[in-house]
Amino acid sequence: MQKLLLLGAEAIAQGAIDGGMSGVYAYPGTPSTEITEYVQDPELARQRNIRSQWSANEKTAMEAALGMSYSGKRAMVCMKHVGLNVAADAFMNSAITGINGGLLITVADDPSMHSSQNEQDSRYYGKFAQIPILEPSNQQEAYDMAYFGFRLSEELEVPVMLRITTRLSHSRTGIVRKEEQPQNELTLPKDLKQFILLPSLARKRYKKLVEARPKFEESSAQSAYNRFFDGPDKSLGIIACGIAYNYLMEHYPNGCDYPVMKICQYPMPRNKIKEFEEKVDELLVLEEGYPMIEELLAGYFRKGKSVHGRLDGTLPRIGELNPDIVGEALGFEVPEEEEVPEIVAPRPPSLCVGCGHRDAYSALNVALKEYGDGHVFADIGCYTLGALPPYEAINSCVDMGASITMAKGAADAGLHPSVAVIGDSTFTHSGMTGLLDAVAENTPITIIISDNLTTAMTGGQPSEAENRLENICEGIGVDPEHIRVVVPHHKNHDLMVEMMKEEFEYKGVSVIIPRRECIQTLARKKRNKVAGKRV
Amino acid sequence: MKKDIIISGVGGQGILSISAIIGMAALEAGLNIKQSEVHGMSQRGGDVQANLRISSDTIYSDLISHKSADLILSVEPMEALRYIPFLSPDGWIVTNITPYKNIPDYPDEEALFAELKKHKNHVLVDADRIAKECGTARAGNIVMLGAAAPFLDIPYDMLEFGIKKIFGCKGEDIVNINLKAFKAGMEVSEQVLAGK
């Protein structure tokens, strides 16, 4: 069969489509964005009528996917690792409600924080919720897991997590497709109380979940993704999880000298791990992310056989793995590292030339000059780059929406002025509820919604409240006289500075909206228009 | 057959198109490939790279090990040097010579070229000029793809297939300009190789 050249993220999308998915729900976030974008491809959307529009945030996405599952259809929700924090309430409880149609929760972790605030390991969430986790070691396996994942979820009657990392998501390779499965029919759950987590009912559901554990382990034991490969040298046994298996095999293309247990489905099959442990003298655990399995196998007092990994210093405690790090842990001679020539200067990312955020920050820095440094709480998006030179204009970036609420807390503590900088899409993701808190107390804060009419950092996805931000702010209760819209442009610099200074001195909630389209999406629209004319 | 290639440049310079074309060509030639890309924050004018691995055997790691790249293909001269730790002792540097200056402390160009020339196997390509001569300044990355072609061990037809596939939707004129740019780049490297 003809191979398709796909990113890992796209392979998951294709696998889910072929596996009979009826809808995908997501909010964009690196490295997960390309999954949903692939399903949104106009040609595919036309052919298969799969629901794929972006959601306001990961929580609304998770809940909508659960609703589709309730209705008997196969649904997938996708997010980056920190997005699962946003969706956690719905996520944890979906393990207890169980599913009707197959439900896949695809979470893309970002070890080494290439494009994130932390490197949390989502496998802990899967363990926390007590559901099975699939962790592909390569892109073909990612396709297969998405394809079979719905069926697994239906068999085990719980949502299944599909955990990937940046390298798997953003690496392209040839993928072999399987036969397309039909989508499920609309079917209500047999028990119409299944999804009611009233305490008396929730206790029963939770008991069912806990009692299903042996079934999940048996599924892992039988799983084709968990495989044992014997090796002649029993002095060491290697447990290789997910993509770490590839970094191991890079050094043993013709088979490993040591016995290897490849783990790509959790919970770990206890019996098989026990058999494996008995065969070897010591264990080495290779896992991308936190030392979850290593900690489990080593035990608190480390009384059993030696277990090596990230905790005992055999591998670095933080950051992603790579073939060099794994090779060194296996005792391979690592070539002496050549330095990057001194002449090479760092080239950090920066706001694009012509970006409206630049003009907003230029004005903000001038307007704040008389008050000194330390007044600006920012958020997640391109404008976080305002932290770097030449602007160095912000003092926080924590989580989606935290700019407004942190500014509120600081104002409560007496900081004046207290300024929030947030983007349009981040505002509708998680900023609106914080604004309501501020309005409820009329907290003196100035919120700058730097509006570029798109979700820019992740590649220009539509912003849900395009051109409705003023109405939303007014509806939440901000005094219309203190909702001020301006075009962030060099020629409006003085106007913006004046506007900001006025609002800093207002003793209540004010919102300034510098609005100008992202120059990247603008350029793309122009290109598409030109291409369209040629056709 | 096994080739490990690092493609480097600055976010927005089109290294992903180069990488995609080689990937398609390799797949068409029946080879295995893995092509690891950078998405997200660094695409905003930061340094970006793609790891491209091509082999007739199974490829495991998505990432290339230190001192093992057969080729650094760069669309920007300073960015070629950033990945020197990955270059194998016999590997080649094929780079565009036009600097992309979006930082205040960009190094002296002559010193940069001197540093590049310290490596025995290098091809320096005036890709921007060649691209303009071919019809569009925007084909600089395809000139560089052409310059890399003699080091790829992938038949010319397959690479042509990749170019046609990527640019096909933009019309025949664009395809032809890019094929011309590709051949012009290839000639530069062939001359260097002939002189060796």
Q: What is the mean pLDDT of residues A288-301?
A: 96
Amino acid B94: pLDDT = 98
For residues A432 and A439, the answer to whether their CB atoms sit within 8 Å is: no
Distant-in-sequence, close-in-space partners of A495: CB < 8 Å, separation ≥ 6: A486
Instruction: Give the SS3 label for residue A197.
Output: coil
Contact (CB<8Å) A3/B10? no
Distant-in-sequence, close-in-space partners of A198: CB < 8 Å, separation ≥ 6: none
Distant-in-sequence, close-in-space partners of A343: CB < 8 Å, separation ≥ 6: B78, B81, B107, B111, B112, B115
Q: Could you report the per-residue pLDDT of A455-508, keeping only the tens digit for each?
A: 999 999 999 899 899 999 999 999 999 999 999 999 999 999 999 999 999 999
A173 in contact with B, Cβ within 8 Å:
yes
Instruction: Give the SS3 label for residue A239.
Output: strand
Helix (H) or strand (E) holding B26: helix B15-28
Least confident of A273-287, A399-413, B166-180: B166-180
Amino acid A46: pLDDT = 81
Q: Could you report the per-residue pLDDT of A139-179, keeping only the tens digit for each?
A: 999 999 999 999 999 999 999 999 999 999 999 999 999 99
Amino acid B45: pLDDT = 84
Distant-in-sequence, close-in-space partners of A72: CB < 8 Å, separation ≥ 6: A100, A101, A184, A185, A186, A187, A188, A189
Amino acid A532: pLDDT = 60
Q: What is the pTM of this model?
A: 0.96
Amino acid A197: pLDDT = 98
AA letter at A244: A
Q: What is the mean pLDDT of residues A390-411?
A: 98
Give the residue on A whose Cα is nearest the Cα of B44: A349
| Chain A: closest CA distance from residue B39 (Å) | 7
Least confident of A36-50, A366-380, B144-158: A36-50
Q: Could you report the per-residue pLDDT of A313-339, keeping only the tens digit for each?
A: 999 999 999 999 999 999 998 777 789
B159 is in which domain, residue-wise?
Answer: 2-195
List, edge to edge, every strand of the sheet that includes A260-263: A227-229, A260-263, A236-241, A282-286, A307-308
For A347, the closest of B10, B33, B61 (CB atoms) is B10
Q: Kindly provide the ipTM of the predicted complex, given to two decimals.
A: 0.92
Query: Where are the extended beta strands (E) located within A146-196?
Result: 160-165, 171-175
Instruction: Give the SS3 label for residue B60.
Output: coil
Please measure the distance between the N-terminal and C-terminal CA atoms of chain B and give it in whole angstroms: 23
Tokens 């000139």 identify what position?
B143
Distance of alpha carbon A184 from the chain centroid? 27
Q: What is the CATH number of the domain that holds B40?
A: 3.40.920.10
Amino acid A405: pLDDT = 98
Contact (CB<8Å) A172/B20? yes
C-alpha span between A105 and A163 (Å, rounded): 8
C-alpha span between B52 and B23 (Å, rounded): 8
- On the question of pLDDT at A384 being above 70, the answer is yes
C-alpha span between A109 and A85 (Å, rounded): 12
Helix (H) or strand (E) holding A428: none
- On the question of pLDDT at A351 being above 80, the answer is yes
A414 in contact with B, Cβ within 8 Å:
no
Least confident of A163-167, A335-339, A392-396, B50-54: A335-339
Number of H helices, E strands in chain A: 21, 18
Q: What is the mean pLDDT of residues A283-303?
A: 96
Contact residues on chain B for A250, CB-CB shorter than 8 A: 60-61, 65
Contact (CB<8Å) B39/A340? no
Instruction: Give the DSSP letter string of A29-90.
Output: -TTTHHHHHHHT-HHHHHHH--B-PPPSSHHHHHHHHHHHHHTT-EEEEEEEHHHHHHHHHH
A319 in contact with B, Cβ within 8 Å:
no
Contact residues on chain A for B33, CB-CB shorter than 8 A: 5, 172-174
| Six token digits for residue A345 | 């200067």
A168 in contact with B, Cβ within 8 Å:
yes
C-alpha span between A396 and A403 (Å, rounded): 7
For residues A470 and A483, the answer to whether their CB atoms sit within 8 Å is: yes
C-alpha span between A195 and A100 (Å, rounded): 10
Average pLDDT, chain A: 96
Rounded to the nearest 10 degrees, how much is the dihedral formed by the CA atoms of B17, B22, B26, B27?
0
Within the 44-103 window of chain A, which residues sit less than 8 Å (CB to CB) from chain B?
A: none
Nearest to B16 by CA among A323, A346, A79, A7: A7
Q: Where are the alpha helices (DSSP H) in A259-389?
A: 270-279, 292-298, 323-329, 356-367
C-alpha span between A324 and B65 (Å, rounded): 6
Residues recorded for chain A: 535
- On the question of pLDDT at A373 being above 70, the answer is yes
Q: Could you report the per-residue pLDDT of B17-36, keeping only the tens digit for each?
A: 899 899 989 988 999 999 99
C-alpha span between A509 and A506 (Å, rounded): 8
Amino acid B42: pLDDT = 67
Give the residue on A whose Cα is nearest the Cα of B24: A5
For residues B42 and A349, the answer to whether their CB atoms sit within 8 Å is: yes
Compute the half-sphere exposure of residue A376: CA atoms within 13 Å on the CB side of its CA: 27
| Chain A: closest CA distance from residue B164 (Å) | 16
For A250, the closest of B60, B82, B103 (CB atoms) is B60
Contact (CB<8Å) B62/A168? yes
C-alpha span between B148 and B157 (Å, rounded): 15
Q: How many domains does chain B have?
A: 1
Q: What is the mean pLDDT of residues A44-50?
A: 86
Distance of alpha carbon A440 from the chain centroid? 32
Contact (CB<8Å) A249/B82? no
| Chain B: closest CA distance from residue A107 (Å) | 16
- On the question of pLDDT at A531 being above 70, the answer is no
Q: What is the mean pLDDT of residues A201-225?
A: 98
| Chain B: closest CA distance from residue A422 (Å) | 17
How many CB atoms within 10 Å of residue B169?
A: 11
Domains of chain A, CATH where assigned:
4-211 (3.40.50.970), 227-329 (3.40.50.920), 356-521 (3.40.50.970)
| Chain B: closest CA distance from residue A300 (Å) | 33
Q: Could you report the per-residue pLDDT of B68-115, keeping only the tens digit for each?
A: 999 999 999 999 999 999 999 999 999 999 999 999 999 999 999 999
For residues A238 and A261, the answer to whether their CB atoms sit within 8 Å is: yes
Amino acid A533: pLDDT = 47
For residues B35 and B19, the answer to whether their CB atoms sit within 8 Å is: yes
Distant-in-sequence, close-in-space partners of A101: CB < 8 Å, separation ≥ 6: A22, A68, A69, A70, A71, A72, A73, A74, A75, A150, A154, A184, A187
| Six token digits for residue B179 | 């094929």
At A286, the pLDDT band (50, 70, 90 cuts) reads very high
Distant-in-sequence, close-in-space partners of A335: CB < 8 Å, separation ≥ 6: B66, B67
For residues B55 and A173, the answer to whether their CB atoms sit within 8 Å is: no
Compute the half-sphere exposure of residue A373: CA atoms within 13 Å on the CB side of its CA: 7
Cα separation values, A428 from A87, A161, A401, B141, Å? 15, 26, 9, 38
